[in-house]
């Protein structure tokens, strides 16, 4: 063949190769192991950040390799140049650019072996290098996104799934197995998952999708119950999107499943709390109504009636305030007495064990203590500077609580000519709790002995109307 034509053909081939490698963003390198000379194409120099049009040295190549990756790439090169191994594993490593930037590259290499002085040795190492920074960053972002998605699914107790209607096959994220109580790392089958649905729930899920299609919609959601592998019943919320074939038939359904048991229980608790609040509001209004009617019935004048009503409602408010602080649970008798008798705290001594009262008893006893305090301020020991009151209580193992109110150093006490509302309240308010009240008008001071059962359950059905009598107060 004409040498001139051969030269032209070679030049054309090299030109096409140059165009192809540049279009693909691939550089070519050639390492002469015998002389350590490096030959880099212009694209390879551009990728590595080497100056264009200038030779490349072995030292430059080593210096450009990230120091954390250099031990690994050096070991890979040694295996590639070993005649017994001749590895051709691709390299993925980082380059440190002169401007301080970092670039990820993918390099392929193949050693050329020759017999030198009777021994087979690698004499050249040639290959390609490609910038994969964008791909690497995208893959890293994808891994990070998948990691965040996995964390979000775990945190939200949620799983992703896909159901192929045509093949009746389901694929799902590992979180679904955990939601159904299967051990970590296991992949339950679709039949195993379906067996965890409570009776009728699977049909309800299917009906929700079917009804959505009948409405011309492709989105649907439905709540259903399952029995986990440990038989614990849980509420699930399924949200799905139906994808259709060109003819309108369902092809597959994509969606997520949430564990909403906590929200369900919270909603149920909220409903109970609203019912409880309505019940307490009705009872409180009934109590206020009874207090008002009975006070007006026994009042001698309007001004005194208004003062008595205000005082009794304030006593009721203090008891309610204490119960609210305790979330309407049992409250301390000492705290209750301190709050109701706070107006005369410096003249009242409290003594007794730590006793906690049921809500109804707390309200009833607050009304009694208020009436005793009012009477003592008007007529008894607290109507004079030197007067005092002692409040002692004790409790026995049966739950019977005995409280003793004793007035001292006051004016001489005489029994009243008529029984007022205060006395009626004191005597009758605890009748539903096996209560008993003994009042003695001794000349040295009024004495009141109150006893009732503290461990009995609150009586009376919710919503029952309060009786229009003194015994209804605090009900």
Q: What are 353-366's pLDDT values in tens digits?
A: 989 988 878 888 88
106, pLDDT greater than 90: yes
pLDDT tens digit sequence for 28-37: 999 999 999 9
Q: Supply the CATH number for residue 339's domain.
A: 3.30.565.10
The answer on 287 and 412 residing in a single domain is yes
Phi-psi region of 197 (alpha: psi -120 to 50; beta: other; left: phi over 0): beta
Overall pTM surpassing 0.75 (yes/no): no
The answer on 380 and 318 residing in a single domain is yes
| Final residue belonging to a domain, choices 259, 289, 316 | 259
DSSP string, 187-204: ---HHHHHTTBPTTHHHH
128, pLDDT greater than 90: yes
Q: How far is Cα 213 from Cα 210, in angstroms, rounded to an integer?
A: 5
Q: How confident is the model at residue 466 (pLDDT cuts 50, 70, 90)?
A: very low
261-298 helix and 302-325 helix, angle to the nearest 10 degrees: 160
What pLDDT is recorded for position 96? 92
**6 lies in a domain?**
no
How confident is the prediction for the chain on average, in pLDDT? 80
CA dihedral 348, 349, 352, 353 (to 10 degrees): 100
What pLDDT is recorded for position 421? 47
Q: Supply the CATH number for residue 35's domain.
A: 3.30.450.20
Per cent of the chain over pLDDT 70 is 73
What pLDDT is recorded for position 157? 65
Q: Look up the domain containing 306 and give its range.
A: 271-472
Number of domains in the chain: 3
The answer on 292 and 206 residing in a single domain is no
**305 lies in a domain?**
yes
Residue 440 corresponds to which tokens in the numbers above?
Answer: 């003695």
Query: How many other C-beta atoms are found inside a 10 Å radius of the C-beta of residue 112?
Result: 15
The answer on 23 and 160 residing in a single domain is no
Q: Give the contacts of 56 (CB within 8 A, at least 6 positions apart).
A: 38, 39, 40, 45, 48, 50
| Final residue belonging to a domain, choices 131, 156, 177 | 131
What pLDDT is recorded for position 142? 65
421-428 helix and 261-298 helix, angle to the nearest 10 degrees: 140
467, pLDDT greater than 50: no
**320 lies in a domain?**
yes
Q: How confident is the model at residue 288 (pLDDT cuts 50, 70, 90)?
A: low
The answer on 178 and 103 residing in a single domain is no
| Final residue belonging to a domain, choices 73, 102, 131 | 131
Q: How confident is the model at residue 161 (pLDDT cuts 50, 70, 90)?
A: confident
Q: How confident is the model at residue 341 (pLDDT cuts 50, 70, 90)?
A: confident
**254 lies in a domain?**
yes
Reference 432, options 358, 340, 356, 374; nearest CA is 358
The answer on 332 and 389 residing in a single domain is yes
DSSP string, 382-436: GGSTT-EEEEEEEE-TTSEEEEEEEEES-SPP---SS--HHHHHHHHTTGGGT-E
The answer on 170 and 78 residing in a single domain is no
End-to-end CA distance of the chain: 119
The answer on 437 and 381 residing in a single domain is yes
8, pLDDT greater than 70: no
The answer on 278 and 363 residing in a single domain is yes
**113 lies in a domain?**
yes
The answer on 288 and 240 residing in a single domain is no
By residue count, the chain amounts to: 475
**2 lies in a domain?**
no
What average pLDDT does range 225-247 have in this prediction?
Answer: 90
The answer on 456 and 392 residing in a single domain is yes
**185 lies in a domain?**
yes
**197 lies in a domain?**
yes
The answer on 207 and 109 residing in a single domain is no
pLDDT tens digit sequence for 162-204: 888 888 888 888 788 888 888 887 888 878 888 999 999 999 9
Range with the lowest mean pLDDT among 76-85, 89-98, 138-147, 254-263? 138-147
Q: β-pairing, 348-351 with 388-395?
A: parallel
What average pLDDT does range 221-246 have in this prediction?
Answer: 91
């Amino acid at each position: 063949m004409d040498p001139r034509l051969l030269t032209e053909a070679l030049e054309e081939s090299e030109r096409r190769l140059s165009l192809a490698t540049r279009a693909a963003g691939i550089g070519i390198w050639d390492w002469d192991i015998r002389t350590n000379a490096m030959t880099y194409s212009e694209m390879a120099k551009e990728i590595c950040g080497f100056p264009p049009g200038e030779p490349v040295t072995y030292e430059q190549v080593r210096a450009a390799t990230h120091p954390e990756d250099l031990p690994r790439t050096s070991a890979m090169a040694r295996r590639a140049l070993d005649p017994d191994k001749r590895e051709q594993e691709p390299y993925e490593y980082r380059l440190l650019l002169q401007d301080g930037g970092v670039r990820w590259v993918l390099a392929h290499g193949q050693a050329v072996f020759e017999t030198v002085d009777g021994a087979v040795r690698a004499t050249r190492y040639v290959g390609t290098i490609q910038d994969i920074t964008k791909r690497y960053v995208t893959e890293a972002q994808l891994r990070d996104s998948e990691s965040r998605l996995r964390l979000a699914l775990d945190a939200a107790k949620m799983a992703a799934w896909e159901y192929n209607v045509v093949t009746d096959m389901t694929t799902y994220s590992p979180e679904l197995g955990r939601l159904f109580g299967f051990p970590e790392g296991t992949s339950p089958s679709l039949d195993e998952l379906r067996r965890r649905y409570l009776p009728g729930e699977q049909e309800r899920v299917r009906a929700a999708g079917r009804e959505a299609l009948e409405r011309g919609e492709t989105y649907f959601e439905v709540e259903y119950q399952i029995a986990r592998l440990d038989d614990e019943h849980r509420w699930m919320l399924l949200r799905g999107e139906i994808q259709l074939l060109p003819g309108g038939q369902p092809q597959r359904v994509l969606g997520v499943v949430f564990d909403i048991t906590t929200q369900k229980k919270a909603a149920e608790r909220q409903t109970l709390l609203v019912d409880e609040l309505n019940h307490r509001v009705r009872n409180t209004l009934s109590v206020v109504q009874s207090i008002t009617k009975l006070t007006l019935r026994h009042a001698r004048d309007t001004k005194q009636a208004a003062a008595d009503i205000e005082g009794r409602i304030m006593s009721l408010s203090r008891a309610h305030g204490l119960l609210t602080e305790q979330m309407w649970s049992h409250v301390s008798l000492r705290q209750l007495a301190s709050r109701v008798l706070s107006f005369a705290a410096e003249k009242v001594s409290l003594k007794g064990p730590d006793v906690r009262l049921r809500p109804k008893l707390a309200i009833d006893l607050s009304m009694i203590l208020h009436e005793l305090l009012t009477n003592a301020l008007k007529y008894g020991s607290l109507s004079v500077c030197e007067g005092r009151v002692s409040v002692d209580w004790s409790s026995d193992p049966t739950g019977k609580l005995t409280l003793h109110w004793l007035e001292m150093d006051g004016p001489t006490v005489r029994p009243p000519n008529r029984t007022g509302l205060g006395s009626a309240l004191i005597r009758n308010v605890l009748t539903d709790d096996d209560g008993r009240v003994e009042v003695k008008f001794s000349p040295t001071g009024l004495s009141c002995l109150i006893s009732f059962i503290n461990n009995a359950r609150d009586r009376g059905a919710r919503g029952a109307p309060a009786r229009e009598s003194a015994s209804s107060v605090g009900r």
